[in-house]
Amino acid sequence: MAIRPVRLVHPAKLPPTSPMRKLPVLLALSFLFFIFWVIYRADIGQPTSLHLFITSLPYGDKVGHFFIFGLLTLLGNLALKLRQITIGSLKIYVASLLVFAFAIIEELSQVFFPDRTLDLVDVIAGTLGIILISLLSKPLAKCLQTHD
């Protein structure tokens, strides 16, 4: 019996009924629900073990905001197929804008929870992650396409 190599196919090239076509959307939604769970646990004063570990590291909270919102931006941009809107002369990825709005609203909501603290540096860290990944989204998407 001969072993045949596995050939990966980009989701856009799959038939419309293929479940793999929806993989970027599934990953983005799964990660968003994970973030909701972490936020919920923090809001009720019962942070997850992962949250406690990250916040125990020097600047862990800031690094966490950078990577969480950066990864959510990447997954969202891929799920929305790099869809953009134009504001003035600036083209912005729709998912990047949505993640930025989510990050701002989530940080502002911390005012209403006694175990949480509103922190401008958290907003800056998340925003930097969103901007960096937004700049890298198109090259990363092309890289994924060429390797499929």
Render pLDDT for 115-134 as a digit per residue (tens, 0 to 9): 899 999 999 999 999 999 99
| Confidence class for position 31, pLDDT limits 50, 70, 90 | very high
Residues 51, 57, 60, 64, CA torsion sign: negative
Helix axis angle, 94-109 to 120-146, nearest 10° = 150
Phi, psi of 122 (to 5 degrees): -60, -40
pLDDT digits (tens, 9 = 90+) for 64-79: 999 999 999 999 999 9
**Average pLDDT for residues 51-70, to the nearest whole number?**
94
CB neighbours of residue 90 within 10 Å: 8
From residue 25, how far is each of 20, 22, 40, 80, 89 by CA, in Å? 10, 5, 22, 8, 28
The pTM of the full predicted model, rounded to 2 decimals, is 0.82
